[in-house]
Each structure stands twice: as C-alpha cells, then as structure tokens.
Chains A and B, each alone.
Chain A
Amino acid sequence: MPITLVQGLVVTLLATICAIDLQLEGFFLFRPIIVAPLVGLALGDIQTGLLGGALAELAFAGITAVGGTVPPDPVLAGVMTVVLARTTGQPVTATFAMSIPFAILAQYASLLYNTALAFVNPRAERYAKEGNVKGILNLCTVSIILHALVYAVIIFLSTYVAQNGIRILVESLPEWLTHGLDVAGGLIPAVGFAMLLKVMLKGSFVPYLFLGFLFATFIPFDNILPVGILGVACALIAFYQSAKGPGGRVDGAIPIDGPEGGSDVGI
C-alpha cells in the first residue's frame, strides 16, 4: 500500500521530533520501540508499528551511542521497518533488514554533521571571549534546527519520494569513502584529547597518563569507570602523601609537584 503525501509529512514530522531527541538524548524518544509505533499510528497500522518496534528495539539493544561513536541510526531503522512493511507487504522481520541501508545513510549523515560542526568551535570560542551567553545558547538552537532539517529531508525522501533511489544510493557508496570516513571518525577525538593535554600535561603528571592508558588497554571494559577508580586511587595517594611531607617534598613517594609548578626533583 503506497504512502500518501499527508502520511509522508506526518511520519516526517513525528520521526524528526524523535531524531531531535536522538541528538539530545533527553527522553529516549529515538528508540525503535517508540519511533515504530508512532509511525504505525501515523499510517493507521499501530499493530505493525508495535511488532516492528519490538523487533528493532531488541536488535538495537546492543547498539548504543556510548563514547561519542555514531551507530546505525535507530530512528531510521524504526521508521523504515514500518514504512517498508506497509509499502511492500513483507513481514517486519524482512523489512527490518531492508531498513538497515537507510539507518546507515542516516548514520553517515550524522557523522558528517557532527564532524562539520567542529568548525563552529572557533565561533563558540569567540562568543565565550566576548562573554556572549546569548550567542552560545543560539549556537545550540541553530545546531538543533539544522540537524532536524537534515533528518527531515532524509526521512521524507526515504518514506515518500525516493525509497528505491535512496537504497541504491546507499548501496553504491564506494567502500573507500565509507571506510575513510570511519577511520577519520576514530581519529578526530585525538584532537580534543590533545587540546586538554596541552593544558594539563606537565612533566610530573605524564606517568599517570601512561597508567590510565595501560589500564584501559589491558582491561578492555565497556566504560571508563575502572580507569576512574584507578585515577581516584592515584589522586588519593598523592593527596595524602602531600599532606605528610612538611615542605611539599616527599621522600620515596610519587612526585607531587603541583600545577603551579614545583621542580621535577621528585622524579
């Protein structure tokens, strides 16, 4: 059953609201279990929405946006699972698989958007220097609106205008380009870390960088919490050691030169 223009617009509106929440992670409206039933409602078939949502939600339960990575897009997966079930008459198990190219397209669109947004940083810094609070808040608003527009276009094209075209486009994206963007996405966070290190990394703190690095490398874990506990332990050792030493120099202990610059004789 084809999607009418009105249905296409309503689906685009609802799914774009969910996509804004995907960016903000405020209310978790972006999960397939919410998106798919909403789309089902808009298409007058909430049962298909519930079934597609349940399937896609479980499939996406292990795919999370932890740590700044951009996973396949849960909004497009939810939308297209239901839309394709309605247009092709296939069961949701089949249309969920068919939804993945659309989810990957939105994933790369998000990745590109988030990468391009790095070029807003100089402007954000300028507003900060000027004490321009309104300017900083406006940057957030404008970014939300632009992001929503990108999604609205993708969703409307995918659902109403060019379902087949989009699928062919995604499938014909050259491997070297998608792989290259993947690689770049893995490298760019290094710039952010290096900027912090530029401020914080003074001679006597270098050992702790290596400690954290080694710990995280050899104890692969889903999140940074164990490294945090190691860091707390190191910080407490230094804190209590520096209380004991009368003049700030502690014998046989971890070097404790403060950021305001003692000499590195402790090393």
Chain B
Amino acid sequence: MSQLISLKGVSKKFILRHHKVSRLKEQIIDFLRGTRYISEEFWALKDITFTVDRGETVGIIGENGSGKSTLLQLLAGILVPDQGKLEVKGKVAPLIELGAGFNPELTGRENIYLNGSILGFKRKEIHHKLKDIIAFSGLQRFIDQPVKNYSSGMYMRLAFSISIHVDPDILLVDEILAVGDLPFQQECFKRIQDFKNKGKTIILVSHDLNTLSTFCDRTLLLHKGELIAQGNTREVIARYVEILGKPDNSEGVKQSISLPGSGEIQRDGPSPQEGKRWGSGEIEITRVTFLDKERKETCQFKTHDPFIARIHYVAHQRIKKPVFGLALISEKDNIQINGPNTRFDNRVIEYLEDRGYVEYIIDRLPLLPGDYWLLVSVWDYECQQVFDAQDRMHKFKVIPGGTPERYGLISIPARWEYYGDQDSEARNRNPLNPES
C-alpha cells in the first residue's frame, strides 16, 4: 500500500490581531504613539501525526473550532504548516463549499469552464466531460442561462456536478453532505461511494456520525487542535460522544452545537452556560417575543395552544442565505426537546438586510406545564459561522389547563383504542389503517 498523506508533528498557528482588518493608518498611528501592536498566538493544530494510505476513507470529527477545517486546508495546500512535515502525493480535489468560483453574470456553461480550470483542468478535458457534467446536473434546459437566474438548488447541483467529475487521487469532503434536499444528498452519497469503490482516497469531515460510520474505515478525533484518538470509527465516535458530555468541558459545551438547534447542547448534568451569548455579530438577534393565538405578546401558554416565537433581528450588512435555528429546552434537567431550523424546513432566506423578524410557529404546543428556555441562533448557510447565538436567555411558561396529562415533558398527539377480547374482528384490524 502506498502512502498518499503523511503528517509528522504538524502544527499551525494563527495570529489573532486586535483588529480583524488592519489598516495602514492605524499601524502608523500606533507606531507614532509608541503603542505596541497587540497580537496573540493561537495554535489551531498542535503536533498532528498520522498517515493515510491509498484507497482509505478517513473521517475527521471534532467540535467546531477543534481544527478540522484547518487540517483540511493544510491537506488542500491552502495553508502551510508552521512546524512539522506535511507530504501529500497525488492530485487533491477539495469538495469544499460548492460554487465558490461561480460568477453570477456568466451562464452555466461558461461557469463550468471557469470552475473546471480553477480545479486544474485543461480546456480539452473540460470539453470532454462537458456532456457528463451537464447531464449529471440535470440542467440541460438552463445551461445557457446566467447563473444568477438559478435557484439555490440548481446552483448546488451544477457545482456538485463539476466537483464530482474531477478525477482526483484524494477527495476532501467538508460537510457538503449537509447541503441540499434528500434526493440530492443521496446522489452525493452514491457518488462518494463510487469514488470509494474505485479505490480513491477520501478524507471526510462531518458532524453526522451516521455518515462517518457508513463510509469511514478509520476516524480521527480532534479536540482543541490536538489529535486525541484515531482508529476504528465506532470507538472514536464513542470517545467523541464522551468528550461532548463532559461537564468540565466549558469550551466544548458552547461549541458543541453542530447545526442550529440540531446538535447536542449537552448530555448530562446541569449546565453552567445559562444566559450565554456568542457569535460574530453581522446579524444580531435584538429581541425574542412569544405570541399567543391573537398574536398578543405573552409568556404563558397552555398545552395545545398555538405558540409563536418571534425573533427580531438587525443585519448590519447584507448577508446571503442566513439560517435561523432554535431549540426548546426544559428548565428541569436542561433537556433539549427539539432543534429545528429554517434550512431543515426548506425555508431559504435569500438574503437579509436591515431589520425584521422571523417566526417559529407551532399550531398546537405539545409541551406539558413547566418552565422552558429558548435557545435562538442565526448562522450562515453552511452552518460554519455563528452570527449570533443566545443560549437560554429567553424563557416562557406552560401552565396547566390544556390537557390533564402531566407526566414527562410533552403531550404527543395520539389516541387510545380499546379492543375487548370478544371482538376478534376488530383485533385483526390495523388501527393505523382502518380501511384494510
């Protein structure tokens, strides 16, 4: 077996400056004033050593901020290590962020050529594959339309189709599988499986533990920039889940939400994180209000009442395709009840500007009496960047009266049926399908 990737003690540091964007003017002023430039070192990866052989599929997991993306960027040649030795043999194709190289003014066909050449194709090679790429994207009718007229789904199909037709030795996949609707995702999975069957090497970064266990021969676990476990995927996943649940892992708790609301806020024990807020601030959640069926503001609901959470925001700049997410959390034991977001609901917000609000509407609130927290967050489309997240800063109460049920947390819409022993005919009837 030949070794395609080899890392020996690779470390990568970033310099954190007090201003994200530094300006010459400020530097000159700082210099004249004699103030020292404050900068801080941050080691995103520390002493990483591993190898990958040809034909292997290796998964990488870790919380957000554990260094997964940095590692992938190193493998792709985008970043260079500050220490250690990194060797990658063969053609690397990143399947990161679909459509990054698209120009909206150009047609689909023109973008295939442009994107193809970014991936290192010659014109002839692209020409050769053009038919396949268009066919796989299913956009024959629209291929000579400017990409700006495409829906986001069409955009993704085209981008994925181009990436998948690259014939690399090593395929780097970063969370792309979280994008798109179900049939599209299945197509992606199928193509990746094809790659694997062809004996290609795949590095797969995912938060989706199912994906990892399906595909990966081996998995690496990153934690705060260190490679703390590698080997059998199942064992590594078990270790990962264990880390997520650790109460002393304060950094981890705040970052362990992998998708808005969908991930684990915490596994056990009371959280010290009440009232926590973080994010980069391009979009701010300014206020959260709860509304009843008359759309009047209230903080008290009965079980089975309509429930509306209205999230007011202000966008400080135009942000494309943000994703709003929330989570309902029971105050007792801090149990997360759900974790929906606008993307799961296929509700694509093309862009946000200025102020406005989004509403999360439950027609019949299933929660039983008690106190509940709301976690609200707004993310970029890939769910990589948090603009604003407010963990347990908003609270509402469910009061008795809607249903006599009182055990557990929720009242699931359901019914009881009773069949006496004497009625054998009814017993054979399928209660879920009375007609049969």
Partners in one complex: no
